[in-house]
Each structure stands twice: as structure tokens, then as C-alpha cells.
Amino acid sequence: MKKPSIKDIASRLNISITTVSFVINGKAKEKNISESLTKKVLDLVAELNYQPNALAKSLRTGKTQILGFLVDDISEPFFAAIARHLDEIASDLGYKILFSSTRNNTQKAIELLQILKDRHVDGYIMALPEGLEEEVKKLIKTETPVVLFDRYVPDVKTDYVIIDNQESVYQATKHLIDNGYKKIGFVTLETSQSQMIDRLSGYQVAMAEAGLSTSVKEVDYKNGADSIAQMTTYFKTERKLDAVIFAANYICMDGLRTFKKMGIKIHQDIAVVSFDDFELLEFCDPPVTAIVQPLNAIADNVMKILLSRLNKAGQATGNTQVKLPAHLKIRGSSLKKI
């Protein structure tokens, strides 16, 4: 009743395991194995429901058909959505994905990376956590395929898929300016991650072009309550703001909570644009304009790049760096100034 091995197949048929292996791996033709024998093997494989042991295969070939996926927190909607799409594509291609959350803990992230290495994953997909730059550089040196997404590190030469953060925020800011807003605030995180820097820069460029002065709040994120407290102070100080752009999903969530607490009305008191779209925005009154990331396209590109690397391992090709456009979904919160 235990799982049959290649040996069982071979001995039952009185042939060598070599032949069985060739047939199973579709090399019967190439290796000139007779059709009748091929059929016998295939029939027995089907009868016994033989499944090759992936561990043995991996040990021998050095390939595991497993990819490592490393992000801050897999339960964040953006990462969960990307994970889902990646998993979908990968499983169609015979790959499985090991998901890991670093929980913004560098030490933990390094450990997780080590575990993925121990498991001999064939490639890595990461939203690179801060503090992992050196580890990743080492990884890339070993010729392991690594594809980054969401953000990149100029210093780390590798493939990545990002969206055009600067351009999308630039367009969103311009949209607000075009609709008559002048005192536009920008609420972001205190971080040096590329995607946040680029978003800020898109805002700054648009404001400068229009000759408007900027107002930036960098939230030092500890937890929701503290973040709301920081924003409350900000909005109290900057009373004259007539619009605000929130630079990320949960920043926006906390911003909307802050408005609720302070009795600030969307659009009526302040126009709002959110980076990242999520269900809540559609339910606000009025609904909130959002910069929408192309989730499918991100996942598609990541997998495409990774697969092409996997298929030509060793060949030092140049880096593929993709920058995808985001889409501004205009809703009631950013309509013309009243």
C-alpha cells in the first residue's frame, strides 16, 4: 500500500529503471524505446497511479519547481492579490510558490531567505524589504533568478516590475489642480523605499509646475491609532488644505478614519485621491478617486521574466526592468472644486 517507486515499475516489467525513467519523462522516442514497451510502462504507471517522488528528482536535478515569494505581509490586499495571480500562473506551469511574510522585521526576513535557500527554490519573487539589499546581492551573484516588484533598489542590479509611480501621482495631482484645487497635501510614509519616493516626487513635480507650494506629511507608522493621531495633528495644523493625496492603501484607510473622527467631509471639505483601489473607496460618500495598479499585468510580467530566466539559467543576460502604467479611476471625491 506504500507509494510505488520507479523500481517497482521496473521490476514488475522486468526492465531497467533507466528505461522506465526515460518513458516517464517523455524521452521514449528520443531514446529509441520501442512503442510496445513504452505503452506497457505507461499502462502500468496509470494502473499503479505512480507519481514520481519530487524530492528525489529535485535532489538529483537540483531543480525543485518551487519559487520563493517574499513580502512584508501576505495579508495586505495588494500582496494577497499579486500572490493569487502568481499562484494561478505558476501552478499552470507546474511551479509551486512558497509564500513568506517578513512582517517588517529585517532579521526575520534574512532567516526566511535562508530557509528558502535551504529549500533550494528555483527562483525568487520579492517586494524587497528594507535591510535585505546585501543578502539579495549575494543571491544574484549565485546566478539565482530574482525578480523584484513593487519597488526596486537602484543599487541592486536585477530584474524588476514596477509601476510608474511618479507619472501616476503626477497625473493625479494634475487632475486635482485642473479641477481647481490649490492647497493640495500629500500624506505618505516615512520610508526610503523607491515606490514611495517616486510617488512623492510625482506630486512635487506637478505642484512645482503649477507654481503651487507643497505640504507633505510623512507618517511614522507604528500602528493605526498612532497614525490617526499624527494625521489629526497634520490636518488641524494645515487647516487650509482643499485636497489631499494618500500615498498608500493603509495610509488612506487611516486618513479616512481621521476624517470621520474630525467630521471632515470628503469633497465638500477636502478632495481626496487614494493610491491603490480597494472596496471601501467605492462606498465612501462620495466615492473616492484612486490610482489603480494593474495587478494582473504586474503578476504576468513577473512570471514571464522569471520563467525566461529559469529556462536559460547561467546565461548572463541583461536585466529586464518593466515599468507599467497605473490608471486613475476618477470618482466623486475629486470632482471640480465647489
Partner DNA sequence: CTGAAAGCGCTTACAG
Query: Residues interacting with a second copy, by CB under 8 A?
Result: 51-56, 58-59, 64, 66, 73-75, 77, 80-81, 83-84, 87-88, 91, 96-101, 103, 108, 111-112, 114-115, 117-120, 253, 256-257, 260, 279-280, 282-285
* Smallest gap from residue 263 Cβ to a second copy (A): 13
Distance CA 215, CA 185 (A): 5
Q: What is the DSSP letter of 266?
A: B
Q: Which does 25 bind (CB under 5 to 8 A by kind): a second copy, DNA, none?
A: DNA
Exposure string (b/e) for 290-326, b if CB count within 10 Å is 16 or more?
bbbbeeebbbbbbbebbbebbeeeeeeeeebebebeb
In the chain, the largest separation of any two C-alpha atoms, in whole Å, equals 87
Answer for which of 11, 29, 31, 260 binds DNA (CB under 7 A) is 31
Nearer to DNA, 52 or 286 (CB): 52
Nearer to a second copy, 117 or 137 (CB): 117
Q: Which does 235 bind (CB under 5 to 8 A by kind): a second copy, DNA, none?
A: none
Distance CA 325, CA 304 (A): 18
Nearer to a second copy, 103 or 312 (CB): 103
* Smallest gap from residue 299 Cβ to a second copy (A): 11
Q: Does the protein bind DNA through residue 317 (CB under 7 A)?
A: no
Region label for 173, one of left (φ > 0), alpha (ψ between -120 and 50) or beta (otherwise): alpha
Q: Does the protein bind DNA through residue 3 (CB under 7 A)?
A: yes
* Residue in 254, 248, 285 with CA at minimum distance from that of residue 269: 285
Pairing of strands 327-329, 289-292: antiparallel
- C-alpha grid cell, residue 315: 546565461
Contact set with DNA (CB under 7 A): 3, 5-7, 14-19, 21-22, 24-25, 31-34, 37, 50, 52-53, 56-57, 59-61
